[in-house]
Copies of this chain bind each other. A is one copy, B any other.
Amino acid sequence: MAASSPSRRRPGRRPGPTETRAAILTAARDLFAEKGYDGASIRAIARAADVDPALVHHFFGAKEALFVAAMEFPVNPAKVLPYVLGGPRESTGRRMAQTFLREWGRPEARGPLIGLLRSAMTNEQAAEMLRQFVSAAILSRVGDRFDVPLVRIEAAAAQMIGVAILRYVLRVEPIASVSEEELVELLAPTLQRYFDGT
């Protein structure tokens, strides 16, 4: 799936259609997810994509731009929020837990999500990206849909972020292996209570 040979290739364009750009993006997603922004070096990404580090630069410019390109937020709020906010109000907590876990379950979404979360803990730019997204795309919309103090919505967000960390980043058992359904049962009432304002 990736590089295995130390790969001494001669310079110049490779024959056939260009597939290196995609390879770099994939490698970047993997490594940012695994090591976070600062831990994933351009050189390691290039190595994983079987490519010279300078090529990464050629395609994406500085490291920061690569990160933005690779972590482009993999969840589209416009597609997801209507379902969550649309149904009956008394089951919003459940739909939110479902949706959250389903999105994290998608393999092509999980890499960027973990990468973003990991990086946000040590890198101010990544933290800002995450804040921006979470606050603009989610908190505000949910907030004025429900007319509930923002702290309560953030408490709900905290519950989900905490679960994501234990389940997907730290991989603490048993919460890392429990089924999505079981987790939904557990979390739905918590979220619902925050939205209900009780």
The answer to whether A151 and B178 touch across the interface, beta carbons within 8 angstroms, is yes
Does any Cβ of B come within 8 Å of A39's Cβ?
Answer: yes
Are B151 and A174 closer than 8 Å at their CB atoms? yes
Is A112 in contact with chain B by the CB < 8 A criterion? no
Q: What residues on B are CB-neighbors of A193 within 8 Å?
A: 189-190
- A166's contact among B117, B158, B174, by CB below 8 Å, is which? B158
Q: How large is the interface on A (under 10, 10 to 19, 20 to 34, 35 or more residues)?
A: 35 or more
CA distance A159 to B190 in the complex (A): 10
20 other A-B residue contacts (CB within 8 Å) besides A117-B121, A159-B190: A36-B121, A121-B121, A121-B122, A121-B165, A122-B122, A127-B170, A130-B170, A151-B178, A152-B186, A154-B175, A155-B159, A155-B175, A155-B186, A158-B162, A158-B163, A158-B166, A158-B175, A159-B162, A162-B162, A162-B165
Q: List A residues at the B interface (Cβ < 8 Å).
A: 35-36, 38-39, 117-118, 120-122, 127, 130-131, 134-135, 150-152, 154-155, 157-163, 165-166, 169-170, 172, 174-175, 178, 182-183, 186-187, 189-190, 193-194
